[in-house]
């Protein structure tokens, strides 16, 4: 087991330095794998949001934006690369902090830190190439006019992020918004803020201009709500639950403030009868047991072709029972605890409701017997599910998969699309044409073929329906933080000639 670090005692990161929260309040940090309180984080309130937004506004327009918002992309890229380098230097201590904060296996948090660094580097490249894309001409049907576009940073952005990938989800917003030239106020989840506060320390070390990124931790209603309704915040980007997404959209609507929302999911994985069973079983497991299923894109509804269903489920149960469920710091752990007691109780309730509605808990469904403390839940497989059951319809955000069988391709697609959500979907089959047909038929923003979950910073990420709108990652992630201005010039020497000129007499 890795050595336990001391949890740094941080304040709010505002205007390039640490600042005590105005009301002096702090929130406990609980390690969900041990239930021990291991530190605390500052609890920001509306007063702090005011100061942070003012710092971001000042940084946006300081010296006419010469040092940040209107600086060459290469200037911003240098800072993003410096942040990436520091993340790499501190990879193992950041991964450890995140594991202690969230309960996810150390192998996962280490991989997440690699993704964090790669995301900062990717958007550094895009910041540089943004300058080349400026002034791109628009072809017009009248030759006495010329038009081009400018891509400009949208302004001060509020970034509200969840606890399931604490630093990575923050980075998916921080890196492109800073690359675009925005300045930002980040409000991470109160359930896992430690690594986001360390990002503040890293910003200080790389001498990021004060106020370009501000980090305020605290409760959603106390710190997130005043940020999303603040008149000087030009855009809000949010990842989290659909319920909170609706609140944020309502608050933003009062000021016609743009939002991008990445919300919940209930994504399907369709498995046909022409597959290698063990390979498909492993993807099914990765799709819903990685990060204990606390993934917005988790493929938590498994659709099995009736011909292989029995054999598949036998293998799935065997593989699931073989998962190492342990303290997330233990070598080889593949399932840690869930993030909090509340989440733990919520998942158990989902399982008991499924049982009372007539579903079968084929495997798991309870606390693993060898773990007496911590918010652990066994990998859980639920069968005999009907489409009216809660377990089929609602997002669990836990290591729980529900299973249905299908006979035909069209039946599989109908079941897959039987959800209010539309984030992701996956299909496993050796028939390439069928996979392409299904990719088109699924009502989701992401489709995986012959896998589930692999994510690349270059490819767009986001959902349809109640999973939200807007796309993160790739060049679409940068566009999220840019506004487009058309500049049109009249270039003829002739007068316009619409009105009669007045007499010169
Ligand atoms: N799509 C995703 O990636 C995520 C989905 N969820 C879903 O949400 C459920 C509940 O988890 P929560 O932690 O309660 O998610 P949440 O949606 O309440 O929290 C996400 C972020 O929103 C903030 N927030 C909460 N209320 C707010 C408000 N009124 N105004 C502005 N910001 C606010 C929180 O402080 C946090 O930073 C989970 O069980 C899961 O089903 C949770 C986290 C991530
Ligand atoms: C792709 N992955 C699994 C790393 C992140 C998913 C994002 C989310 O759960 O909000």
Q: What's the pLDDT at 210?
A: 98
Quick: pLDDT tens for 112-143. Answer: 999 999 999 999 999 999 999 899 999 999 99
Best mutation site among 160, 162, 267 for ligand 1 pocket (most ligand atoms within 8 Å of CB): 162
262 is a catalytic site residue: yes
Residue 4's pLDDT is 67
What does pTM read for this prediction? 0.97
Percent over 70 (pLDDT), the chain: 99
434 vs 23: CA distance, rounded Å:
59
- What pLDDT, on a 0 to 100 scale, did the predictor assign at position 5? 73
Cα–Cα distance measured from residue 16 to residue 13, given in angstroms and rounded to the nearest whole number: 7
Would you say 310 and 271 are in contact if contact means Cβ atoms under 8 Å apart?
A: no
- pLDDT, tens digit, 9 for 90 and up, residues 322-366: 999 999 999 999 999 999 999 999 999 999 999 999 999 999 999
- How far does residue 497's CA lie from ligand 2's centre (Å)? 58
**Does 481 score more than 90 pLDDT?**
yes
- 177: closest CA among 483, 484, 477, 485? 477
Mean pLDDT of 314-327: 98
Phi/psi for 248 (5° steps) reads: -65, -40
pLDDT of residue 282: 98
* Residue 505 confidence (pLDDT): 75
pLDDT bracket for residue 6 (50, 70, 90): confident
Segment 40-95, tens digit of pLDDT: 999 999 999 999 999 999 999 999 999 999 999 999 999 999 999 999 999 999 99
Q: Could you tell me if the CB of 241 is within 6 A of ligand 2?
A: no
396 CA to centre of ligand 1 in angstroms:
13
In sequence order, which residues have a C-beta less than 8 Å from that of residue 118 and are 6 or more positions away? 84, 457
Q: What is the mean pLDDT of residues 479-497?
A: 97
Spacing, Cα 88 to ligand 1 middle (Å): 28
Please say whether the beta carbons of 494 and 143 come within 8 A: no
Higher pLDDT, 3 or 135: 135
- The answer to whether residue 424 scores a pLDDT higher than 60 is yes
CB of 192 closer than 6 angstroms to any ligand 1 atom? no
Look at residue 3 and tell me whether its pLDDT is greater than 80: no
Q: Look at residue 2 and tell me whether its pLDDT is greater than 80.
A: no
- Judged against a pLDDT cut of 70, whether residue 500 lies above it is answered with yes
Average pLDDT over residues 266-289: 98
Q: How confident is the model over 244-252, as a mean pLDDT?
A: 96
> 239 CB under 6 A from ligand 2?
yes
How far is 57 from 62, CA to CA, in rounded Å? 8
Which of 392-418 are b and which e, b meaning 16 or more Cβ less than 10 Å from the residue's Cβ? bebbbbbbbbbbbbbeebeebbebbee
Mean pLDDT of the region 273-280? 98
Determine what percent of the chain is predicted with pLDDT higher than 90: 98
């Amino acid at each position: 087991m890795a050595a336990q670090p001391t949890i740094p005692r941080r304040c709010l990161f505002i205007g390039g330095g640490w600042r005590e929260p105005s009301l002096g309040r702090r929130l406990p940090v609980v390690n969900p794998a041990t239930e021990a309180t291991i530190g605390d984080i500052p609890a920001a309130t509306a007063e702090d949001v005011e100061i942070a937004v003012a710092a971001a506004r000042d940084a946006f327009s300081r010296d006419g934006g010469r040092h940040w918002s209107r600086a060459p992309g290469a200037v911003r890229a240098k800072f993003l690369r410096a942040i990436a380098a520091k993340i790499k230097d501190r990879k193992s201590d950041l991964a450890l902090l995140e594991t202690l904060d969230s309960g996810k296996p150390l192998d996962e948090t280490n991989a997440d830190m690699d993704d964090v660094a790669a995301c900062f580097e990717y958007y550094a490249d895009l910041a540089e190439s943004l300058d080349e894309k400026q002034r791109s001409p628009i072809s017009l049907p009248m030759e006495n006019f010329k038009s081009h576009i400018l891509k400009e940073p949208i302004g001060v952005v509020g970034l509200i992020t969840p606890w399931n990938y604490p630093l990575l989800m923050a980075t998916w917003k921080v890196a492109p918004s800073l690359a675009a030239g925005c300045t930002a106020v980040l409000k991470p989840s109160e359930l896992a803020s430690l690594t986001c506060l360390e990002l503040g320390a890293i910003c200080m070390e790389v001498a990021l201009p004060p106020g370009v990124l501000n980090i305020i931790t605290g409760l959603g209603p106390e710190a997130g709500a005043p940020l999303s309704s603040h008149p000087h915040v030009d855009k809000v980007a949010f990842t989290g639950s659909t319920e909170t997404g609706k609140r944020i959209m309502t608050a933003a609507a009062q000021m016609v403030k743009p939002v991008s929302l990445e919300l919940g999911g209930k994504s399907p994985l369709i498995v046909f009868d022409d597959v290698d069973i063990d390979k498909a079983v492993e993807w099914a497991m990765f799709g819903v047991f990685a990060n204990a299923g606390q993934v917005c894109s988790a493929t938590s509804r498994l659709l099995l072709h009736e011909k292989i269903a029995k054999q598949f489920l036998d293998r799935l149960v065997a593989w699931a029972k073989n998962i190492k469920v342990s303290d997330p710091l233990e070598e080889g752990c593949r399932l840690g605890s869930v993030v909090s007691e509340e989440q733990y109780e919520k998942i158990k309730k989902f399982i008991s409701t499924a049982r009372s509605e007539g579903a079968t808990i084929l495997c798991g469904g309870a606390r693993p017997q060898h773990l007496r403390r911590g918010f652990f839940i066994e990998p859980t497989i639920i069968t005999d599910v009907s489409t009216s059951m809660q377990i089929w319809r609602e997002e669990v955000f836990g290591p729980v998969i529900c299973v249905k069988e299908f006979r035909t391709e069209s039946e599989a697609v109908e079941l897959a699309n039987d959800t209010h959500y539309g984030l992701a979907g996956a299909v496993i089959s050796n028939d390439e044409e069928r996979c392409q047909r299904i990719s088109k038929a699924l009502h989701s923003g992401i489709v995986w073929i012959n896998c589930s979950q692999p994510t690349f910073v270059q490819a767009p990420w986001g959902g349809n329906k109640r999973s939200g709108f807007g796309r993160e990652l790739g060049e679409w992630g940068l566009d999220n933080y840019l506004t487009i201005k058309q500049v049109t010039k009249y270039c003829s020497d002739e007068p316009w000639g619409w009105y009669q000129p007045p007499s010169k007499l």
